Structure 1
Amino acid sequence: MRSFQPAILSASLGRAWLHEFANKAKQASEYGFQGIEVFYEDLEYEAKRLHSVETPSNDQILDAASHIRELLDGLKLTVIGLQPFLFYEGLKDREQHARLIEKIKLWFKIAQILGTNTIQIPANFLPADQLTGDMDVIVGDLVELADLGMKEDPPIRFAYEALCWSTHVDTWEKSWEVAQKVDRPNFGLCLDTFNIAGRVWGDPASPTGKTPNADEDLKESLERLVKEVTLDKVFYIQVVDAERMETPLIKGHPFHVDGNPARMNWSRNARAYMYETDRGAYLPVEDIAKVLIHDMGYKGYVSMELFSRTMAEEGEDVPKQHAERGIAAWKKFVERLRLNDV
């Protein structure tokens, strides 16, 4: 087996309310993807479709997972993870915390059916008034999850990802601090070139599209990444870019949503695959990927995790177009980083 295999997020091929999972998976397989991240939304909509219900029961969700697994096995697609387990750590509302502990037990069953041992957790981005910034609480919540995951057979791993707009954990540095304090073998990181670059280097609300000291700050951040993060804690990586905004993403911009951080609105509407300069891609994501692969020695699945307004477009060709764009980026990535030589 090659050292690197291309993967894609199921939602990156089209949103579930418009595009059936079967077609998305077929396109991913036909274009050469070997792995897939299953977006929970796809399970929900597959369950709705299979059972003609608006709100699927847990059993119906599990049935949808079985259906999806059978489909993916036939297409020789491996599920590399289930995501996103949202809004979990650091909640002030401890009753909601208890509800999420019950929910994760369902996710364990789903993961087992899908044949994956990895659940991805985005660092919490609920409004600050709903969260505590107390590191002891954040870490304690994640230890609780990791310990539950260890009891599963096989054990479940958690890939924690700092989003560039998360409320308290918005850099890889902060996510690494959390992972070290959690200190469990099944708790590690998902490192995403967009979320790294989009915090330290990129700024969609700035007229320049960049932070004030972008190049130097990124250089120093990547030097720290190589020096501090151990490879065994990098569970998988996501490689994706984003569009440079023609005008600052502030009030009045078509992507602006009141109450949402600019980087959230940017991420949801305007990511691009790597090398899509014709679509405005401009972040130094190749530099970050080189550090992850050449300097840190990462090997394994590389996920092309796109979020974009284009995923919510109608038309049968949408999954095909996104799979085609994604694999074109992958092929250029392999060539530019000489992955066949690694």
Structure 2
Amino acid sequence: MLSNTLGKKDPIPCVLTVAMKPARRPLLGALALAALLSFILLIPPPSGLLLFPSHRQTPTSPYAHRPKLLFLLAGQSNMAGRGAPPAPLPPPYLPHPRLLRLAADRRWVAATPPLHADIDTHKTCGLGPAMPFAHRVLLSSSPESAPSSVSEPGEGDPVVLGLVPCAVGGTRIWMWARGQPLYEAAVARTRAAVADGGGELGAVLWFQGESDTIEVDDARSYGGKMERLVADFRADLGLPNLPVIQVGLASGEGNYTEIVREAQKNVNLHNVIYVDAMGLPLSDDQLHLSTEAQLQLGEMLAQAYLEFNSSRDPKL
């Protein structure tokens, strides 16, 4: 049984810089940074070698090779998490023995915030929506939960959740297109997660678009790129009905936030679920969600997933 307290962590190393203001960076520079990112995320390190010193002491979980209900976490900084961690941490951010995350070196380890510390390395990560989401889903799978609770991967076994962090702050949606390093890394990490112990991919949690509000052409083309991204994920992961839960923007870096939000609302694909973050509290920078907001968003995402899961045809 894991402890309900978090140990002190070494400072997160800044080993990579991704363009936080992509509209002001040359295209070639963004492509070079994306290529560096692909090396870090897509290629697993040699056995026994960890890329990020802050996670060297994180033990492999005893549930590592059990079947899991998996969730791919993708997008930019509000998915990676910038919420300031209070002391003590709220219960939805504490470890749970059956809640795991896929580390950058593709080991299954205990899920403890910040979940993206060894993925989104250009900034110090904080609290995001995935931990409260996962705690709520785990609660729904307990014996005393309602009959509409999520199905368990192994017959008679308690459900084990596996989170697959892939979000990187400051990224535009074109950087998530098929063939781009971020997309290829997400697909490769998800395949590795399924291969190590089996199980199934429950959904993609997608929170991105703030960087696409800077240029009007990016904002206007967002909907088509999002639909292509969903179709590519489903094709490359072999899951034509894969649920994708996208978060409607609560803020933006530019003046075209409403255009992106309308595109998100109007994605015309089955099993794409819209969860609106507008109105949730923002931090002082008026761009990132506060810790309180991330807690609320995690609950909203879980509710959307559980309602969808209880209503869909089990044959699909």
Q: TM-score normalized by structure 1?
A: 0.36
**Higher share in helix:** 1
